[in-house]
Structure 1
Amino acid sequence: MLRYFRWMAITSLVIYLSGASSDFALAEISSDYGQINAINISHRGASGHAPEHTLQAYELGNAMNGDYIEIDLQMTKDGELIALHDETIDRTTERKGLVKNLTLKEIKKLDAGSWFNDAFPEKMSTEYLGLQIPTLREVLDRFGPDSKFFIETKSPEVYPGMEEKLINILNEYNLIGAHHTFGNVVVQSFSVESLRKVHEIDKSIPLVQLLSYYAPAVITDTEVSKIKEYAVGVGLHYTAVSPGYIKKVTDSGLMVFPYTVNEKEDMNMLLDWGVTGMFTNYPDRLNEVIQSRISKKP
């Protein structure tokens, strides 16, 4: 019964993709939506517990009841899409350099796990030693149609053709197109051009426009209207949002996905404010918050 309420949130994506207007009312999904429930997105996997963007982190995110796995995409010199947040390999491997200057063979020689043991000795595990950076295909091979994915096109201006490659792979795995399950894949980006390109190729893919704010978030009616031309939601840092911002955006029919929310106090606050979902390094914590609120429902 508790999981039932969680999946009501994800149903919102299904309703949009099955032909409803992007102006659908979130209240039609559940009268409790946003106060009890939220889509739980494992940020780079369960990256508070395991090395980010590794198969182990993704596996753990699913085990901790994350609804979606978030995958950041970079592209190698030989055109392979890989799961990595940064344009460089400096932070999460033993080497330095730009991804765009390295082949997949070179990428696969890197140790993408040991840094985590050094950074978080209290969470150290020998299982993390020598972990590889996975390709998008490897992630889909492992998790496939049994998981849901928030996929970000990172720095698409650096990687011409990234969007086409992504869509081709998603079609190959039947995650989009005629045979896919609606809502299994969401594509997000800070790049308007990248999202519009995806939208032009396949209008059935739900898109989330990521936004950067250096002050409390403010959005105009014109900005909302432009985003609604191609996207179903927005994502922004949780410290920038306010109850008024969330109400304005959700009243327009767009969803709101703050990032990166790691403390239960902030999770509860954002649920009180009515967010659609949130990115977290600790999907287990968010799951506990949601289940606690559901259990208290009259």
Structure 2
Amino acid sequence: MARYSLITMLTLLAGPAAMAAASDSPLTQQLDELNKFQVIAHRGASGHAPESTLPAYELAHQWGVDYLELDAQLSADGEVVLFHDGTLERTSNGEGHIHDHTLAELKALDTGSWFHDAHPERTEADYSGTQILTLDELFDHFGHTTRYYIETKSPDLNPGLEEALVQRLEAYNMVEQGRVLVQSFDQESLLKVRALNPDIPLIQLLWYSPSEQDSATLTEWNNTTPGANAIRDEDFKRIAEYAVGVGTNAIYQGQPVIDAAFIHQSQSNGLPVHVYTVNEQDEMERLMALGVNGLFTDYPDRLLELINE
């Protein structure tokens, strides 16, 4: 059985008046809204500007997305930085592992010019020289005007990440104000976050693909659950003991790996379903028709266009 959070315990002890107040808290409102549809800007509006940079997040925020999605890692000197890959080469002019560099060294890198090489047709802005962001900088810039969907990225490469992340969330009062979700493929990482602050809402990420031994059988990357076509209520219930939702892929190499039954089963066990990363409108429409609770996308403008039709 999941243990009570501190807020829940204090509320129960304080009586009905406190319970009513807690039911109207920003955190409770956030959890209630997870049952509605969420637009999640994957690394910001990363189809339009360099991923995980301030321009990408500013654009997504300007469009009014529900969540800014980001990957948290640690610099060599313990600063929480926003970067997806474990190594620097793909989206910067640096080399090597991100956790082997100090923040000063990371700040000296150009994390924008690569975008022009990858998208030569995008000439509306010059992103060369764009710096890597720290979590503090993102919070300082947007504050409580948006919500943040934060992945503990590669916890094995970033020892101490959970402690550093929770410290920053508490310092900026992001949890009580209903401003953050923490996601990970690594169940152990999520449980570390929960032990540090049981009020932080957690999302268990899943990745389904065909088994190497039998292509007709699906498996989950970390064996967090059985394959999506063999998952049971008990499997969802185990996740619901510590998480408030799941994030999953819907397609593997062009073939569906989840269906409406999976989505409904997850929801009936208290776990809204968010699907990553969906960039084409026809696929967005298909998944919305299946009943998903949200989509990660590099092109939040495309998703918002469908929602606002």
> Structure 1 length normalisation: TM-score?
0.84
Q: Which residue of 2 aligns with 1:229?
A: 241
Report the CA distance between 1:127 and its aligned residue: 2.9
Instruction: Note if 1:290 corresponds to 2:307.
Output: yes
Question: Larger relative contact order (C-alpha < 8 A, sep ≥ 6)?
Answer: 1
Report deviation, 1:291. Answer: 1.0
Unaligned runs of 5+ in 1: 1-12, 293-298
Q: 1:114 corresponds to which residue?
A: 113
> Which secondary structure does the structure 1 equivalent of 2:70 belong to?
strand
Q: Which amino acid aligns with 2:260?
A: P
Number of equivalences: 265
Are the equivalent residues in 2 in contact too, given 1:68–1:148 (CA < 8 A)? yes
8 Å contact from structure 1 (residues 66, 283) kept in 2: yes
1:278 match: secondary structure: strand
1:208 alignment counterpart? 203
Q: Is the 8 A contact 1:89 1:96 kept in 2?
A: yes
- Mapped partners of 1:25, 1:248: distance in 2: 19
Query: Which secondary structure state, in structure 1, belongs to the residue aligned with residue 45 of structure 2?
Result: coil
The partner residue of 1:18 within 4, 7, 28 is: 28
Q: Secondary structure at the match of 1:142?
A: helix
Q: 1:212 to 1:263 in 2, by over 3 A?
A: same
Equivalent residue number for residue 297 of structure 2: 280
Match of 1:131 in 2: 130
Q: 2:267 aligns with which of 244, 250, 268?
A: 250
The separation in 2 between residues aligned to 1:14 and 1:95, in whole angstroms, is: 47
- The alpha carbon displacement at 1:223 in A equals 1.6
1:3 aligns to what? none
Q: Confirm or deny that 1:259 pairs with 2:290.
A: no
Q: CA deviation at 1:125?
A: 4.6
Q: Cα deviations across residues 116-141 of structure 1 (Å, max 9, x unaligned)?
A: 00100111355301000101111111
Q: Counterpart of 1:199 in structure 2: which amino acid?
A: R
Letter in 1 for 2:72: L
The corresponding residue for 1:197 is 192
Q: Give the direction of change, closer, same or farther, for the CA distance of 1:84–1:153 in structure 2 (3 Å limit).
A: same
Q: Which runs of 5+ in 2 are unaligned?
A: 1-22, 211-217, 219-227, 252-256
Partner Cα distance (2:33, 2:63) in 1:
29
CA distance in 1, matches of 2:148, 2:190: 16
Distance 1:224 1:25 in 2: 20
More displaced, 155-164 or 217-226?
Answer: 217-226
Larger Rg: 2
Amino acid at match of 1:228: A
The residue type paired with residue 165 of structure 2 is L
